[in-house]
Structure 1
């Protein structure tokens, strides 16, 4: 933006504004094509105006944690009004004026409504319909938590000196903390951004830098090119001592990783992955990435609640899941770098190019990005066996979806708090699972054709779920609308009961009934919805047969005889309850099943057993059917499941069974770890490194003496060589050592954190402090968290780490130190923070405590806490039975 000065008269002040040569919405659609926001789309604003273009200039003061800004917004007014209302949160307006076609500014009076997060700009007389420019001068605060414009402090990788970077995070309702704006997704506009920053700092935006102008006082004005038409929450600004590593992707787009100076080769893996992923999405969507560059910006910090954000052309990702540091990056971390980047890149189309009209349909962003990320990650890394992760994702979604507090995928969102809490496993993982089921049902080619049609029809605009289903139907996806509407608008998990299986004359008959799976026994037996359920059923080793079950009870007849597998391929979003003979046949033929079906069957039957639909022995028999020499990815997942079962045997009464089960787990998995060795070999497959990490974690958790001793030995090695633990297993060894730490170990961890020269490493040490099983060390970790020594995000992670083993202690501590803990967490995340604190509790006394805390919150903020309370009640109801049945199985198992 080329700046010039234009005077603005205000009540008691004359304010200079930067106005570009665009004047009135040169980059926006013609005014004649604009219309007020339709009543069908929710909004906090009066619907009497719409923006087409923003020109923003911001001047941050990173040290003072304040900023000033000037914005000129080209606005179309549709009906006569005495005021324009925009969003603004925490912004102090020093002057505002409205400029009409005559070019004369009219001073406006500004009133802020803090509760509504709006700014009302009142005119001295009625504003007639037409085109205007709204000019506002304002100031705001730079936060220390990731919302709005915020600062992150971190050790410089070259000097160890503490430095500061600035970043923005606007989803869902926080662009209004940065600029007065129509801060809702359907108010799309183009943006010109410029920033006045120190001359030795890099400024970042959605678009490439268009120009720089040196200013007095060691400053410079950086001007970015005009963005495409987009929603306000996708705007990005960053500033700091950064470096950019870039290359041209095959489609000609300049892709770059921006990281703290001194990161060097740590950006290479992500940059090469980004260059690989981007053209693949071009082809899949049938629309080339429309911006000239795509950066992924490493923020040297963390958040309790998100890992990355899809700002158009300027993804922001926390460093721990973007930069590959051979000293600290685990094998799972390396995989996350690829998959998280694929997720955010998918958003550049699904969310940025085409955006949901309102937050009710946030799953259109998140569910699809999760699905696309899995698809791309699996495509480019077939040896990772990434599809197994979809089973875990499905299970995570069902765990929440089977509670009475669940909600539909397409949910009703009206308040700011509801916006902030809409990002849960139902939005992400259930959305992803439903999409996978639909793609499998209609076929991948038809599905891709529907995606391409959807992108073509709705580029640069806003949609609802029905627009996507219409495109799918037009592309040939029969029954998509019917199935999708049921699974996205009806909450809950379908339960398919296989009532009987019989085989006569070479044909197998199944009698099926559908119901709803619930973790609440009181909800069972009530009338459940009827979902149109796409089934894929295999008899023996025959080709699976497809069937759309649209009635509550149906029968199927299939050719052949043999073990019956419902949900072959594990892409259906439902649970399957088999009769005992069918279970026996599946266990007997387990080795003949595909790994995805082995793992899906085991997880499904474990979940059914945990909920009381069948004995725990059924799930454990499936878990025992795995070969300990199986594929590395499958073995790692199964070892993790054994660890979870071991965790059920808490409490003194379960100690004998716990000891016996621990010995059984060691007997199964210690030989596999012995073959792998404690240390990797050069060039070994990533999946072997990951299996080694999981086996160390699992065997450490069950108290395998050799593993625990080795972890402590390696931790103590840090006293003479601070680099002795460097490598992909650093976090794994630290977690085992920290869980079993004595005071000397704990003090060593704290000392290492203080001396760390990388934020990721420092936070790794800090978060491990809280894992100590020892009660006294856990209490000391909590006190240390609020001592002021750890940064805010590290401090909050220490508390959640303590809560993994001491949830009641952590909850009581947080409540007793509420003000200090609140200062560590952004307001929008506090309820979710509390929900995490109590996630592993099995103490009945916590029910009343959580109820008392929930009562202090507004209803729209309390949702995560109420969900956590419901989950606790479920654990209290089911855990005694689970312990008893696991103990009985351990006693009787060979």
Structure 2
């Protein structure tokens, strides 16, 4: 699953100087899964489900029948399965070779279970549980849900149905053993309108005409898989497909009328299947892999890896030349690479319980970058790992952090596990471990892991053992440190000498923290930290194990103790070394430029050093830097400019300094795309235009207004990859007339993606009255059920306090606009940009209304705001002093 990143408050502000199945092995008997958490009694496990549903899209209900083949392994008075929002009308239990027995059904909404009790206790043996039931079709992405969207030809609203089951929502579709370890095969059929296309994990094997405009669609039997990977979709779709590998077809399923919009995604999807098959040493085991475009959005996720039928929201799957930007095209590629990686890491081999969710998400995040670098090295995707690491450290530096492998017992805790620790820290640690093991040994270990555990479940230690056995002694101890201990190592240079071309670097290990520096200074955790140290020559590998260490490295150039930025730790240099790095900055590798700036800004923000050295490094990035480095550096300046909102004079000085370096780069790129330019250059143009627009650059704002005015005579005047960039600038500076014009454009658009974007823009104005109007509009049916939440998030960007108050005052309605998984996170995150001390008390009051196990997102925002209140004035002073010093 690709989630929506909800970063901490501190990271959002000060640190925002930031940015047929084959032969299958049977899984281990779940009843013997010692130490693996479960909500169910370990007395039975399923082997096969046969589910048939009849959806009523108009009335948002469905009926279903289910037959579960299962084995009872211990005598038990009842069978307990998961079930949520289902009404079970009847149920029978049939022992193998025996007659059906009626059973009494007891529903328990609190535990999300159904208990099936026969007249006599059940003896061990094989049974079939048959149920007839009904359920609800939701309007947010939980269980079976509906999305309304404009027909691409007529503009009339049409409805599609989709499913989203991760983590705990397959139980909304049928009674199930809805935990990852309970793998089974699935047969699915559905009675649907004859003129609609139905999609599931496997291809359709039969369609029967039932008359009266209905048909029964039957899909092939799935491989053994966890319940959360089951998928169903129904709608007025069309499918574009091509062969990806012998016997495997890749397809993009999109709303009818999409035309060539799926072509880019399909051409990127197909090669991933043989690439991953070769890398993991296991062929893709299904006959097809579809990616289904869902016209809508979620505040929790952007795509889901259902086996053989990925679900991706249309805005990051279809390439619409009228609105798709360069960054959106890149997101199409990386999102697909992430979800296709899951077909192996997560689907073929699945974590035993959600505590090892990172085995799915961290690895898919790591593999998406690796695959993108393989197919598109000119995009410099490996540089993105620096920003990913920073996103993780933005959470991991707080006391509210958690280990990568974390204890999870409840549904609420499971939902909160989808965060930057699981994804980005997971990716960062995996990148470090691959470097430690070596690429070949690492890959060989993964191949062995896949071979030995396919169609089964694992825990983290199974992977470490496989890689160690492949030839990486000591990896388990390093991996265990970084996955079971929360927090961030701090590696400090305490001394440096260089004689006869050899540098000797003295190091000390501590622990970096944002909000408990005194505590970790006294009793820091210790990690076995893999280092790659360079001094202008060949880098040296070593492990800092314990408090202190020394490393010698060839060369007397500027020392980088995290060369290549693959280590998950903060690097603290001496002032003399930082001065040397500042001088060398233009000639350093791009990844080291990004990593050094990120590290030093974070260290300065958290009080480990003054601001001047970090800002000097940022200023040393030349205007002709790598486009990804340039985009990152410029973004940090824009973040700094925002922080000076109460000091317009200093804001103006900073803007002038930024313009002196980066305006010439924009002028070289030009305001319009150029033929055959690189994607990073196209993305940098958008970043520069957007940032200068935010800072009120008169040339850029005037150009945005000029282009917006052209729409009066030509509605397609802005069509193209820069459309979203220019309209964002207009929206931020919108008048009431501009706001009304954007609203009219949204209502008239036949594109679901464009309509969502335009309605979201209505929340972006700096004018508080217009932001309030957007919030009010969001509570109506006009924008669409899945767009309203995005409008409210947009309004919170410049008006966090008013938007948070609005959400709390309308809490019931707001919660109906977001997925169940993210309701607490959504409301709390609206306060991320607040600078009002009163917000802390408001958040504490809100926290008191949510279950204790669901309160971590609130604690994170409180911690972020608390620290930012301390750091902000220090940053403003540090930046002002730095500007004054550079003026002399």
Q: TM-score, normalised by structure 1?
A: 0.95
Number of the residue aligned with 1:290: 285
Tell me if structure 2 keeps the 8 A contact 1:27–1:53. Answer: no
Number of the residue aligned with 1:94: 89
1:869 matched to 2:865? no
User: How is 1:613-762 mapped onto 2 (pairs within 5 angstroms)?
Assistant: 613-651=608-646, 654-762=647-755
Number of the residue aligned with 2:532: 536
Structure 1 residue 479 displacement after superposition = 1.3
* C-alpha distance in structure 2 between counterparts of 1:276 and 1:637, whole Å: 30
Comparing 281-290 with 510-519, greater Cα deviation is found at 510-519
1:828 matched to 2:824? no
Number of the residue aligned with 1:51: 46
* C-alpha distance in structure 1 between counterparts of 2:789 and 2:203, whole Å: 35
1:223 matched to 2:199? no
Structure 1 residue 522 displacement after superposition = 4.3
Q: Secondary structure, in 3 states, of the residue corresponding to 2:381? A: coil
> Which residue of 841, 853, 857 corresponds with 1:860?
853
Tell me if structure 1 keeps the 8 A contact 2:746–2:756. Answer: yes
Q: Secondary structure, in 3 states, of the residue corresponding to 1:893? A: helix
Q: Secondary structure, in 3 states, of the residue corresponding to 1:99? A: strand
> Which residue of 403, 406, 415 corresponds with 1:408?
403
Structure 1 residue 590 displacement after superposition = 1.5
* C-alpha distance in structure 2 between counterparts of 1:701 and 1:876, whole Å: 23
User: How is 1:535-574 mapped onto 2 (pairs within 5 angstroms)?
Assistant: 535-539=531-535, 541-574=536-569
Number of the residue aligned with 2:779: 786
* C-alpha distance in structure 2 between counterparts of 1:670 and 1:228, whole Å: 56
User: How is 1:765-804 mapped onto 2 (pairs within 5 angstroms)?
Assistant: 765-804=758-797
- Name the Cα RMSD after superposition: 1.4
Tell me if structure 2 keeps the 8 A contact 1:97–1:106. Answer: yes
Structure 1 residue 461 displacement after superposition = 0.3
Number of the residue aligned with 1:263: 258
Tell me if structure 2 keeps the 8 A contact 1:35–1:78. Answer: no
Number of the residue aligned with 2:13: none
Number of the residue aligned with 1:9: none
User: How is 1:194-273 mapped onto 2 (pairs within 5 angstroms)?
Assistant: 194-273=189-268
Comparing 860-869 with 844-853, greater Cα deviation is found at 860-869
Q: Secondary structure, in 3 states, of the residue corresponding to 1:197? A: strand
Comparing 855-864 with 778-787, greater Cα deviation is found at 778-787
Tell me if structure 1 keeps the 8 A contact 2:404–2:486. Answer: yes
Q: Secondary structure, in 3 states, of the residue corresponding to 1:54? A: strand
Tell me if structure 1 keeps the 8 A contact 2:843–2:862. Answer: yes
Number of the residue aligned with 2:523: 527
Tell me if structure 1 keeps the 8 A contact 2:30–2:181. Answer: no
* C-alpha distance in structure 2 between counterparts of 1:142 and 1:112, whole Å: 19
User: How is 1:153-164 mapped onto 2 (pairs within 5 angstroms)?
Assistant: 153-164=148-159
State the Cα deviation string for residues 719-756 of structure 1 (Å, max 9, x = none): 22221111001111111111111111111111111111
* C-alpha distance in structure 2 between counterparts of 1:28 and 1:108, whole Å: 33
* C-alpha distance in structure 1 between counterparts of 2:193 and 2:36, whole Å: 42
Comparing 39-48 with 309-318, greater Cα deviation is found at 39-48
User: How is 1:268-667 mapped onto 2 (pairs within 5 angstroms)?
Assistant: 268-520=263-515, 521-539=517-535, 541-651=536-646, 654-667=647-660
* C-alpha distance in structure 1 between counterparts of 2:844 and 2:93, whole Å: 50
Tell me if structure 1 keeps the 8 A contact 2:765–2:771. Answer: yes
* C-alpha distance in structure 2 between counterparts of 1:634 and 1:557, whole Å: 29
* C-alpha distance in structure 2 between counterparts of 1:305 and 1:90, whole Å: 21
Tell me if structure 2 keeps the 8 A contact 1:665–1:699. Answer: no
Q: Which runs of 5+ in 2 are unaligned?
A: 1-21
Q: Secondary structure, in 3 states, of the residue corresponding to 1:722? A: coil
State the Cα deviation string for residues 592-643 of structure 1 (Å, max 9, x = none): 2111111111111111111121112111111111110122222222211211
* C-alpha distance in structure 1 between counterparts of 2:662 and 2:576, whole Å: 30
* C-alpha distance in structure 2 between counterparts of 1:347 and 1:627, whole Å: 39
* C-alpha distance in structure 2 between counterparts of 1:581 and 1:93, whole Å: 72
Number of the residue aligned with 1:70: 65
Structure 1 residue 893 displacement after superposition = 1.6
Structure 1 residue 888 displacement after superposition = 1.2
Structure 1 residue 354 displacement after superposition = 0.1
Number of the residue aligned with 2:874: 881
Q: Secondary structure, in 3 states, of the residue corresponding to 1:59? A: strand
Tell me if structure 2 keeps the 8 A contact 1:68–1:138. Answer: yes
Structure 1 residue 29 displacement after superposition = 7.5
Tell me if structure 2 keeps the 8 A contact 1:770–1:802. Answer: yes
Q: Secondary structure, in 3 states, of the residue corresponding to 2:787? A: helix
Structure 1 residue 558 displacement after superposition = 2.8
Structure 1 residue 252 displacement after superposition = 3.8
Q: Secondary structure, in 3 states, of the residue corresponding to 2:212? A: helix
Q: TM-score, normalised by structure 2?
A: 0.96
* C-alpha distance in structure 1 between counterparts of 2:345 and 2:514, whole Å: 33
Give the length in aligned residue pairs: 865
Tell me if structure 1 keeps the 8 A contact 2:493–2:508. Answer: yes
> Which residue of 796, 799, 803 corresponds with 1:806?
799
Closer/same/farther in 2, CA of residues 158 and 35 from structure 1, 3 Å limit: closer
* C-alpha distance in structure 1 between counterparts of 2:246 and 2:360, whole Å: 24
Number of the residue aligned with 2:8: none
Structure 1 residue 826 displacement after superposition = 2.7
Q: Secondary structure, in 3 states, of the residue corresponding to 1:277? A: helix
Q: Secondary structure, in 3 states, of the residue corresponding to 1:441? A: helix
Structure 1 residue 503 displacement after superposition = 2.1
Closer/same/farther in 2, CA of residues 506 and 686 from structure 1, 3 Å limit: closer
Number of the residue aligned with 2:162: 167
Structure 1 residue 27 displacement after superposition = 10
Number of the residue aligned with 2:836: 843
* C-alpha distance in structure 2 between counterparts of 1:537 and 1:28, whole Å: 45
Structure 1 residue 391 displacement after superposition = 0.3
Comparing 766-775 with 186-195, greater Cα deviation is found at 766-775
Number of the residue aligned with 1:11: none
Structure 1 residue 478 displacement after superposition = 1.8
Q: Secondary structure, in 3 states, of the residue corresponding to 1:793? A: coil
